[in-house]
Amino acid sequence: MSQSNKLTSLEKKWVLYDVGNSAWVLFASTILPIYFSSLVQGQDGVATTLWGYASSIVALIALFICPIFGTLADFSGKRKFFFGFALLGICGCAILSLPILTPIIFLIFYILTEVGLSSSCVFYDSMLTDVTTDDRVHNVSANGYAWGYIGSCIPFLVCLLLVLVVPNEVIAMKWRMIAAFIITAAWWLCFTLPIFKSYEQKHYLPKPAHPVKETFSRLGQIFKEIKQNKKAFLFLLAFFLYINGTSTIIKMATVYGEDMLHFETTQLLLALLLTQIVAFPSAILMGKLSKKFEDKWLILVCISGYVAVSLFALFLKFEWQFWLLAVVVGMFQGGIQAMSRSYFTRIIPSEKSGEYFGIYDIFAKGAATLGPALVSTFTLIFSNVPTTVSAVMNLELIPIPLLTIAGLVMFIIAAKHPTFQKEETIAEEPATENAQSEE
């Protein structure tokens, strides 16, 4: 790699937050649903249904708060908001370790932890325009996801050894789970501190006398503005649809495999660990390919890959199929997330990145609302389907390929529109570029 392609010190510190919060994302996508399933101990489908609706509640809350926080992120003080919400997620993760929590209380603190994560990511994503340049944004974004995938494997492996290998005679399961939660929270905190200490906000709007009132006023304006930016608006619609598929597969894989298909817990967890390992070089490769190919073609490849994955999942019945699915998901997971984030960065004005990423997160979290909710609803509808039908196809998963195919079609439409001219908007507001850096 040439010197110009190496990450700067600030870019590395920005990437580290992906490494930190990805430990929770992996833990919450793998061990946590299985642990919750053991807390419920109900009939088939109960844990899947409750977990799916809890994920949808998280997304509904994010739908309300993310655009507000996104608008706040365009004023000075982004750094403090970022750390505050990251701390909420970290503390929530630690509290979930308490063995006295009932299933419902457990879900409440899970929701709070997820809200802390998603809120911090609004500010974190909007930092991208401050920590790097426009020509490096794809590579830096891809590195964030890539190192997040591989870095999160370290605490996950420790937790996996605690949960699956250490016998009850040595350490009781409840103490092993407590240790797993604390390890995850500590990892998240440690990799949050570097960017918190070093980040300085360069692009922001002058802080008004009444920031709360101005936030809601600008929120209305940004909705009108984004409708005029046809490429960004249509991309967000496409993003909403295809991220539904990716988010639902990631969030529901282990609880569905455990609760509905009765796969062995160890096999599920190891297969999803393989997903993370495969995702690391795949995301790095995608960042390199972005220098040779147009980003729209790379995103189309990733969406098409997820269409194939979601169709394959309809006929998932054996553990070897789950392993194959885990590998293919890893190939496209990092690429579709990294390229979507950096693609959006390139088609919006830099000085309004907070507001735009607030809207971006509405569609991202909205996707996490619809997908799991549809799977949970289909699980209830088809719970009494004849065995001859259920033995052939997983009817509960039908919403996933429908959403990814719709997202593919919408992205093709969005890609045909001309790119927003960022220079013109910046020129209209020179004060933004000349504003002093945050203290």
Could you tell me which residues come within 8 angstroms of residue 112 by beta carbon, excluding any fewer than 6 positions away?
Answer: 88, 92
pLDDT in tens, 262-289: 677 777 778 778 887 888 888 788 878 8
3-state DSSP assignment of residue 294: coil
Looking at residue 44, its pLDDT comes to: 56
Q: Are 303 and 414 in contact (CB under 8 A)?
A: no
Looking at residue 178, its pLDDT comes to: 92
Could you tell me which residues come within 8 angstroms of residue 124 by beta carbon, excluding any fewer than 6 positions away?
Answer: 14, 17, 82, 195
| Average pLDDT rounded to a whole number, residues 177-190 | 95
* pLDDT higher than 50, residue 364: yes
| Average pLDDT rounded to a whole number, residues 402-410 | 91
* Amino acid type, 241: L
Which residue ranges make up each domain of the chain? 8-418
Looking at residue 427, its pLDDT comes to: 37
pLDDT in tens, 204-239: 667 666 666 776 777 677 777 777 778 888 888 899
pLDDT in tens, 236-245: 889 988 887 7
Q: What is the DSSP letter of 91?
A: H
Looking at residue 122, its pLDDT comes to: 82
Q: Roughly what angle, to the nearest 10 degrees, separates helices 295-313 and 399-415?
A: 170
Mean pLDDT for all residues in the chain = 79
Could you tell me which residues come within 8 angstroms of residue 422 by beta carbon, excluding any fewer than 6 positions away?
Answer: 134, 348, 349, 350
Q: What is the DSSP letter of 229?
A: S
- Give domain 8-418's CATH superfamily: MFS general substrate transporter like domains (1.20.1250.20)
Number of alpha helices (DSSP H) and beta strands (DSSP E) in the chain: 19, 0
Looking at residue 310, its pLDDT comes to: 84
* pLDDT higher than 50, residue 436: no
Tell me what percent of the residues of the chain surpass a pLDDT of 70: 80
**Confidence label for 155 from pLDDT (cuts 50, 70 and 90):** very high
Q: CA 374, 375, 376: angle at the middle one, nearest 5?
A: 90
Tell me what percent of the residues of the chain surpass a pLDDT of 90: 18
* pLDDT higher than 70, residue 366: no
* pLDDT higher than 90, residue 409: yes
Q: Are 404 and 311 in contact (CB under 8 A)?
A: no
Look at 352 and 322; give whichever has higher pLDDT. Answer: 322
Q: How far apart are CA 24 and CA 249, in angstroms?
A: 17
CA dihedral 63, 16, 5, 284 (to 10 degrees): -70
**Confidence label for 258 from pLDDT (cuts 50, 70 and 90):** low
| Average pLDDT rounded to a whole number, residues 23-31 | 87
* pLDDT higher than 50, residue 119: yes
Q: How far apart are CA 66 and CA 367, in angstroms?
A: 14
| Average pLDDT rounded to a whole number, residues 193-214 | 77
Looking at residue 279, its pLDDT comes to: 81
Could you tell me which residues come within 8 angstroms of residue 360 by beta carbon, excluding any fewer than 6 positions away?
Answer: 70, 125, 236, 239, 341, 344
* pLDDT higher than 90, residue 408: yes
Look at 293 and 114; give whichever has higher pLDDT. Answer: 114
Q: What is the dihedral sign for C-alpha 287, 338, 351, 193?
A: negative
* pLDDT higher than 60, residue 103: yes
Could you tell me which residues come within 8 angstroms of residue 199 by beta carbon, excluding any fewer than 6 positions away?
Answer: 10, 13, 14, 78, 79, 82, 127, 130, 131
Looking at residue 318, its pLDDT comes to: 79
Looking at residue 3, its pLDDT comes to: 43
**Confidence label for 354 from pLDDT (cuts 50, 70 and 90):** low
Look at 91 and 5; give whichever has higher pLDDT. Answer: 91
* pLDDT higher than 70, residue 133: yes
Looking at residue 325, its pLDDT comes to: 82
Looking at residue 252, its pLDDT comes to: 64
Q: How far apart are CA 14 and CA 351, in angstroms?
A: 18
> Considering all CA atoms of the chain, what is the largest pairwise distance in Å, rounded to the nearest integer?
69
Q: Roughly what angle, to the nearest 10 degrees, separates helices 103-126 and 78-95?
A: 160
Q: Roughly what angle, to the nearest 10 degrees, separates helices 353-381 and 230-259?
A: 40
* pLDDT higher than 90, residue 439: no
Q: Which two tokens stand for residue 347?
A: 């088609």
Q: Is 64 exposed, middle or buried (0-12, 13-18, 19+ CB in 10 A)?
A: exposed
